Structure 1
């Protein structure tokens, strides 16, 4: 999400300066690569790059291709095959042992629904969205349709040239919106096309309850990740925006004033670090019924258990499902001591929970780091046939 925000910001700056731009998108990966499908990079005519499509080894060649795309004003599909040990012939020396397909599209500011404007629509609301990008692996030198469909649960923008595919594309977009997983699909009509049906998720919304000094590195690190952080505290001398310049919001609020001032959704996570037992207890009382993905409680396990016992004494007995989202002590066991290390531990655990991972060392993982996307083939018959 941060990459998209940076790209949108860089595009607007380029427009103000009258620069041409192109968007490079990793649309399909076979085997191993540094970035996966969905990675993007904005290129300006004078060579400024925002975002990344690799670990730095493809960007130089992609820049040259992007300049050609801007000159020709036509999308181009570029394929880097690093399964050959002699990848030095590409001039990039990847060593990734994979095949990376990158679509480079010129951006036409005068067109209302160019990809950047679609990203702006997506970022304007906290809703999942699906973007479909069409390209032809069978005819790499031929015309490449590019970004052609945008869909949410309340909006649809279609700019596909092929009317034969539109109903199928909409159906596939709806399925990805429901399943929560991006896919690549191959469509057979009069011409074979591949579609990258991509799910876009809103930025993580991190609510940090507690504006003490230990919250500062937590907010700073979350900003690096592109998470949108709200800091909440009931103390006037702590809940000060100047203390948290990288937070989206700083709220001065008592526990019973919070819910009316924040939006809570499936991408909202919470950390309780107020060091105030009664404040944490009051917030836990409100948060448990919401079954958020992650509620972290700083401090020893016995503190969390004491709060849960007190809630039970009040007559509120959390369900196993509600308790499953509560993590106390918050954070992964990495030997954290200083506030910066604790912040790293907390954010790493939240990331693991959001991605449904266990937070183990990668060297102990037996399967591939990235799951290979499910390739699907769909025949779409031309009505004229």
Structure 2
């Protein structure tokens, strides 16, 4: 929950507008479905929503149901069974996009109560505090938080009627250098719901940046150390200036940033590392360092390059090996 920054903004806007909210969670699924356990959707008292829990099969019904839930002040356990009797064309022709079963929990949260458990979870997310929210699907309003680390993003104990949901903060991306390719990179990162920041020493470059959550004008490249105190998950160096890149890369290699992307060929990056360290080969082999940056998608436009960079970062943060789904032997989303 809250791994996508738009969910945070949705609640903050609802709070500003004094609107109530219904939180919809996918507890469990069977068969082929668009969203799996852990997917979240929020609906406010105006019927506006964010997130999806299906491929569009019943979002409209959920919005209608949310209004009823808010008026009755009670949660609701909902099961949508989209499984077909057979795999004939006639069955698919009924407009069903999936062939599975989805179990949902819909719970109301009110502005005058500061949104209860969801309001507390939001504060944890804003402050980067890792917690697990444990809610009852049997007794509405019964909840607690735990610092216990769980492997699953969401786990539903059907017997005890409790579900456990991780409270995550948005993934944080830092771009070092506001060059021509920075805006497409910011655009895709924002679409993915990442928190974005960009730094540069050149005022003229930053004036062309419009979509970053944070912009930092540095008086000197060494001020990047102060920026890195904000705990970023990934960073991309793209100032296209040898001396600036050297300062940025050295700072990143000495930081705890888990993904470090470096624009340019390997020969240039090795020269940059050699300029500040006698252990250039060792530092170049740092598993966090990705150079050349991005996946090979075949495109050469700034937008294609930005897509390849974000795709590699997304794979890295999910600890996944990029491949075509049709080449993957077992893909849960297509399971029958």
Q: TM-score range by the shorter chain?
A: 0.7 to 0.9
Between the aligned partners of 1:328 and 1:12, the Cα distance in structure 2 is: 43
Match in the other structure for 1:124: 126
SS at match of 2:96: coil
Q: Which range moved further: 302-311 or 326-335?
A: 302-311
Contact kept, 8 Å, 1:10 with 1:50, in 2: the verdict is: no
Quick one: distance in 2 between partners of 1:147 and 1:367? 38
Distance 1:43 1:252, change over 3 A: closer
Determine if the alignment matches structure 1 residue 12 to structure 2 residue 11.
Answer: no
1:105 equivalent to 2:107? Answer yes
Out of 194, 198, 218, the residue aligned to residue 231 of structure 1 is 198
Offset of residue 127 of structure 1: 2.7
CA contact (8 A) 2:201 2:217 kept: yes
Equivalent in the alignment of 1:382: none
Aligned length: 328
Unpaired runs of 5+ residues, structure 2, are none
Runs of 4+ in 1 over 6 A off after TM superposition: 86-89
Superposed displacement of residue 121, structure 1? 0.7
The structure-2 alpha-carbon separation of the partners of 1:10 and 1:293, relative to structure 1 and needing over 3 Å to count, comes to: same
Q: Which one is further off, 301-310 or 325-334? A: 301-310
Quote the residue 2:5 is aligned against. Answer: 2
Larger relative contact order, structure 1 or 2 (CA cutoff 8 Å, min sep 6): 2
- Contact 1:4–1:119, Cα closer than 8 Å, also in 2: no
User: Considering only aligned residues, what root-mean-square deviation do their CA atoms show, in Å?
Assistant: 2.9
Instruction: Tell me how far 1:144 sits from its aligned partner.
Output: 4.5
Tell me which residue corresponds to 2:239: 274
* 1:304–1:85 CA distance, 2 compared to 1 (3 A): farther
- After TM superposition, the structure 1 = structure 2 runs for residues 32-181 of structure 1, keeping only pairs within 5 Å, are 32-85=32-85, 93-112=95-114, 114-135=116-137, 143-145=138-140, 148-152=143-147, 174-176=148-150, 179=151, 181=152
Structure-1-length-normalised TM-score: 0.76
- Displacement of 1:70 after TM fit? 2.1
In the alignment, the residues of structure 1 paired with residue 49 and residue 6 of structure 2 have an alpha-carbon distance, to the nearest angstrom, of: 12
Separation in 2 of the partners of 1:228 and 1:183?
Answer: 22
Q: Map 1:181-330 to 2 at 5 A.
A: 181-186=152-157, 192-240=159-207, 243-253=208-218, 254-265=220-231, 268-313=233-278, 318=282, 323-330=286-293
Cα distance in structure 1, aligned partners of 2:108 and 2:259: 40
